[in-house]
Each structure stands twice: as structure tokens, then as C-alpha cells.
Amino acid sequence: MGAKVVITELDQYLFGQGTHYDIYKKLGAHFSKVGRREGVHFAVWAPNAQSVSVVGEFNNWNVEANPMKKIGPIGIFETFIPNVTEGQLYKYFIVGMNGELLYKSDPYASASELRPGNASKVADISNFQWRDQNWIKKREAFDVKTDAMAVYEVHPGSWRKHPLTKEDETGFYSYKEFAHGLAAYVKDMGYTHVELMGIAEHPFDGSWGYQVTGYYAPTARYGTPVEFKYLVDYLHRNKIGVILDWVPAHFPKDAHGLANFDGTAVYEHADPRQGEHPDWGTKIFNYGRNEVKNFLIANALYWIEEFHVDGLRVDAVASMLYLDYGKQDGQWVANKYGGNENLEAIEFFKHLNTVVRGRNPGTLMIAEESTAWPKVTGDVEDGGLGFSLKWNMGWMNDFLEYMKLDPYFRKYNHNKMTFSMTYAYSEKYVLVLSHDEVVHLKCSMVNKMPGYLDDKFKNLKAAYTFMFGHPGKKLLFMGQDFGQLQEWSEERELDWYLLREESHIQLQSFVRDLIHLYERYAALYAMDEDWEGFEWINADDADRSIFSFVRKSPTKRNNLLFVMNFTPVERSDYRVGLPKKKNYKLIMDQNGMLEEPVLYAAEKKECDNRKFSFEYPLAPYGVGIFLY
């Protein structure tokens, strides 16, 4: 089933240096041969353990049956056990430095038992025939600066569910079922990528996958690791990119997990001021320890190189960069210069992004970073962190604060919609309306909007129009493209039945039109990083709460003029200034894409400090997108 697995002195040296980028091929459980005997080679890093043994279904969980041998100076234990078969459960029984008796899951396991069980599972992930070669080849040329990117953020366990039965109490779609349904929906809507939440194994559904115990194991909720490969492969064959949420910021204290792994702080800092998040009740990785950095960097490479994913969205980056994040005085330790910057995490990010993006051209490393930390997407050589993209949390907060206002008060908050353009080119941004914005009593997107239900839908169409016109990649969380009314919950599927109602059908159709428009015209993405790609026509019409701007293409052809009215007041006499004396085609309004464009000719009438203009009657919450 496999060649002989041997952990060499070079393996140990590289792991100790933090540069063994495929250490997951040596640590963990791997099918192996010793002489003529077939079995599994087990290896685990437990530097301060007195002893370690493997317990599992193959030895009736007998702690004395299969002791492991400590090899080398850095604390790796290994053993070979014959006749172990695919799918058998196991754990490591560890006697800690002070005599602690610990049963631990394998940090490098490729598969896990379905919760509430927490044992690791012997798995062979090598026997899958990939058919996505065309996608992978094409991915190498993907340029985050100039290519379109519209992301559909999805929680697989609650996108759709089967009816619950005694035999199936979860209703989860399998990876294969999910692949087919998701690909069909995403292709129809026009999204270029999906971002999947909660793929790495985690014990508690309510954590949404952000408290990980199995960093190398696709969750057993939806099937096997090979079936997860099928999901990625199928999406790729349907020309859909796959991004995973990835959580290197912290891990939970569950007894079977990484915390106090051998009775001592192995993966975390021993000092709780450095090793714990008081607000989250979780442990912080020790980014100064080479073997821990290696565990995380190899894990990022594992998902990209073994499972072909196209990128990682790195969760809670700010909590890693700031030593005092979420902490009071006395709860944190300053760096050697007396500052609050986590120097070890900074170096970790530079190392991580350089290796991942260097080895895998066209892949994405995306930072969820909520502060004004400089050069998050800057080049490492220039003092940056080396991420491909950064979530634009500032835009999101200002945008939602504005959209939640009664339209009467929007004129006093006009700058909330214009301020983001003052820093739009300081980083490479993704505009995000993520799961975080539709939970914990924050309301769904449509219910954030003011007014009666009909007004809410009109507001949301205007809002999405502004979002798709604004520079930056795009991300929408599932359900928000058809007007999910309830807040999201991981316990139930989306309210797909709403798509029997006209208002939800119309909103979904409108968003579909916006996404297809976004991808069709390079003006909306090819100059996201160039200030010459955007120009305000009127950023100061606060009294009427109207915004107008143009997006320009690199070829100077097929530019787009946007006009949006954020009040319920009709502006039948509205006139918009024009960048050039040309004919302008109205291609989309508040009702969606027009079957036949309507021509508007430039008139020599001054407006918005421009020589030319035309009249465009603006409906209440009306929008207009013009091609010129």
C-alpha cells in the first residue's frame, strides 16, 4: 500500500529549523512496508513526554501493546504496526513530563472520527485521480491585480440539508452531493470562487469551524478526505476556484487536541499572557517555536498542494499581529522593544506567504485583518506581510452603518460612503459582506435595510450596485443574494423556499445580473489597483444622497458610469455630469439588466463641474449603469 516511511536525521533537522514543508508525509499515520509486512507507520512530536504509545481499534486500545520509540534530539516518537487497515480509529497515549496520562488525537491525522467522537482515523489520501489539470495550469496565470474575483462564502453544513430522520440526525449533504448542487448554483449566479467555512475538523458545530482540533483532517461531517478532493476537483472542472478558511491564530483547549499536548505547552506559549486569548478561551500558537511554525506552514501547503485548493482566507490576523489584542493591562507581554507588535507572528506571515505563493503561482493568501496595519498586501522585500488580498473591514463597517440609516439621516452621513476611496489603493482589497455580518442579532442583509419590506429590497439593490461598482474584489455570504430574511444559523439550511416569492426572485436575478456584468466588463476589475481606474462624477450630493462615479477599463473602451439614489424620493429632473462627449448606453437599472440598451446622448449643459451632461430620471432608490 505504501513504501517504507523512514524519519531521517535530515527530516528532524529541517523540522527543527521550521522548513520541512512536507513534514505531514512523515509525521502522522502512513501506510508503510517493513520487509514483507504491510502496516502503518506512526510518528508524533511530543518533546517532553516520558513515553508515548499508539492505542486503537487494532489493539483494543491497550496502552502497552504498541509503545513508540523516541528518536533524535527534538522529541519525535515513532513505531510501525503491521496489519492496521484503512478507517481504523487510533489515538496517542502520552505519559507527560510530570506523569500526566493523556489521550491525544494525532495533530497530523488526515481523517477523524465524526463528532462527538474525537479519535483520529487511519486514511490513505493518495489514491485519487485528479482531473483538474486544465484549471491548475490556468491558475498559474491568475493575477490578483487585474483578474475578476467574485466570491460566494458558504458554510457546507447549512447551505442545504436533507430532511432529518432517525437514521440521519444531521441532514448534512455529503461532499459529493454538495459539489454538484453548489457548482450548479455558483455557475448560474456567476461567482468565480467559493470560500468554504469549517472544513478542518472541529468538535463543536457552533464554532463554525473556527476552533480547530484536526488541522490536517477534512471534517468527517460530510465524508472522507478523498471525497473532499472530489469536491475540489469537481468545482475546478466547472471553472470555480476554491478558498478555505484557515485558522492559525488560536486553537481550543479540548482535552484531545493540541493544548498541553505532552503535559507541557508544546504548540502554545507556556506563559498565559502570551499563550491564551482571555476573551475567546483559546490557546495562542507559539510563533517563535520552529516546529510550531513548521506545523502551520506545512498545513497551508497541505491544503493547497494535496487538496488543490486555490487559496486560504487567514482568520483573525489582527489577533496575531498585536500582543495586546483583546487583553487588559497585565494580560500581555511587550516585545523586546517595548511595543505591542508580535514580531514572531510578523516573521511567520512573511515566511508563510513567501513559501506558499512562491511554490504555487496564482494561489491566494487572504488576510482577515481589521486594523490599519501597514502593507498587509505589500511585498515582503519592502517590509510587507506578503498577502495577496486583505478584507476591507473599514469599507464594510462604514457601508453597513450608512445603509442601516433611515434615508432622511443619510445626508448627514454621506462621507461614510465616500471615505473608503481615500485609502482604496493602500492595499489590495476584497469588499466583504460575510457571515459575521448576519449573525448575533445583526440581522440578515435585507433586514438591516430601513423601511417596509418593499423598501428594504430596493435599498439592498442600490447597496449591491454601489458595492459592485466600488474598486475591490467582491464577497457575499450565502443567502444574501436572494434576500434571506432570518439571520444565518449553522443549525438549519438557508430559506430556499423564499425563492417562490417575487421579491426574492427579483433580488436574486438582480444580483446575478450584477455579477455577470462585473465579469463581462474589465472596467470593474482590471484597474482595481490603479487610481486612474476610478473617478467621482459627484461625491458631494449629500442633500439628495445620490452618488455618481465612473469605472475605467485599461483599453479606454467599455467604461461604465454609475448613478445611485439612496432615498425613496423620485428625482425626475436628475442630471448627471459626463466625463466625455459620447453616447451612453443604459444597460442596467433597478430592475436588472435591460434587454435592449437605452441610448443617452451627451448634451452641452454644465453639470457636476463637467461641460457635458444628460438627464436621467432617477426612481426612488433608483440606479443606472451606463456603458460608454
Edge-first strand listing for the sheet containing 623-627: 534-538, 546-551, 560-565, 623-627, 583-589, 592-601
CA 49 to CA 55: how far, in whole Å? 16
pLDDT above 90 for 165: no
Helix 175-189 × helix 225-237 angle, to 10°:
20
pLDDT above 70 for 467: yes
Neighbouring CB atoms inside 10 A of 470's CB total 24
Sign of the C-alpha dihedral, residues 598, 602, 605, 606? positive
Contacts of 500 (CB under 8 A, 6+ apart): none
pLDDT of residue 167: 79
Q: What are phi and psi of 540, to 5 degrees?
A: -120, 15
Closest by CA position to 311, among listed 177, 424, 144 = 144
Instruction: From residue 261, give the alpha-carbon distance in Å to each of 44, 47, 79, 283, 589.
Output: 11, 9, 19, 12, 58
pLDDT above 90 for 272: yes
pLDDT above 90 for 166: no
As beta bridge partners, residue 322 has 341
CA 76 to CA 78: how far, in whole Å? 7
**pLDDT per residue as tens digits for the range 302-322:** 999 999 999 999 999 999 999
The continuous run of DSSP H or E covering 33 comes out as strand 28-34
Q: pLDDT class for 68, splitting at 50, 70, 90?
A: very high
Counting Cα atoms < 13 Å in the Cβ hemisphere of 199 gives 30
The domains of the chain are located at 9-121, 531-627
Neighbouring CB atoms inside 10 A of 435's CB total 21
Amino acid at 41: H
pLDDT of residue 122: 98
- The catalytic residue among 195, 201, 262, 315 is 315
Query: Do the domains 531-627 and 9-121 match in fold?
Result: yes
Cα(first)–Cα(last) distance of the chain, in Å? 62
pLDDT of residue 8: 96
**pLDDT per residue as tens digits for the range 58-67:** 999 999 999 9
Question: What is the pLDDT averaged over residues 174-192?
Answer: 98
**Most distant CA pair in the chain, distance:** 91
State the chain's mean pLDDT as an integer: 97
pLDDT above 80 for 77: yes
| Cell (9 digits) for 141 | 496565470
pLDDT of residue 4: 81
Contacts of 279 (CB under 8 A, 6+ apart): 326
**DSSP type of residue 551:** E
Closest by CA position to 275, among listed 288, 290, 294 = 288
Using the CB atoms, write b or e for 512-551: b if 16+ within 10 Å.
Answer: bbbbebbbebbbbbbbbbeeebbeebbbebbebbbbbbbb
The continuous run of DSSP H or E covering 194 comes out as strand 193-196
| Cell (9 digits) for 98 | 510530570
**pLDDT per residue as tens digits for the range 203-261:** 999 999 999 999 999 999 999 999 999 999 999 999 999 999 999 999 999 999 999 99
pLDDT above 90 for 168: no
CA 149 to CA 472: how far, in whole Å? 9
As beta bridge partners, residue 52 has 94
Question: What is the pLDDT averaged over residues 561-578?
Answer: 97
| Cell (9 digits) for 73 | 534530539
pLDDT of residue 2: 66
pLDDT of residue 52: 98
Question: What is the pLDDT averaged over residues 529-550?
Answer: 97
**pLDDT per residue as tens digits for the range 499-517:** 999 999 999 999 999 999 9
pLDDT of residue 224: 97
Taking the mean position of all CA atoms in its chain, how far away is CA 227?
21
CATH number of 531-627: 2.60.40.1180
Q: pLDDT class for 1, splitting at 50, 70, 90?
A: low
- The catalytic residue among 306, 368, 398, 589 is 368
Amino acid at 120: S
CA 604 to CA 63: how far, in whole Å? 88
Q: pLDDT class for 3, splitting at 50, 70, 90?
A: confident
CA 259 to CA 268: how far, in whole Å? 7
| Cell (9 digits) for 514 | 450584477
Contacts by 500-508 with C-beta closer than 8 Å and gap 24+? 503/453, 503/454, 503/457, 506/457, 506/591, 506/592, 507/446, 507/457, 507/460, 507/461, 507/481, 507/482, 507/483, 508/189, 508/481, 508/482, 508/483
Counting Cα atoms < 13 Å in the Cβ hemisphere of 19 gives 6
pLDDT above 70 for 575: yes
Question: What is the pLDDT averaged over residues 103-123?
Answer: 97
Question: Percentage of the chain surpassing pLDDT 90?
Answer: 97
Question: What is the pLDDT averaged over residues 557-586?
Answer: 97
> Exposed, middle or buried by CB within 10 Å (0-12, 13-18, 19+), for 369?
buried
CA 438 to CA 477: how far, in whole Å? 9
Contacts by 127-130 with C-beta closer than 8 Å and gap 24+? 127/226, 128/226, 128/229, 128/230, 128/233, 130/229, 130/233, 130/308
Residue 315: active-site member: yes
CA 257 to CA 215: how far, in whole Å? 10
Provide the residue count of the chain.
628
pLDDT of residue 223: 97
Residue at grid coordinates 504491510: 38
CA 143 to CA 362: how far, in whole Å? 7
**Fold assignment, 9-121:** Immunoglobulin-like (2.60.40)
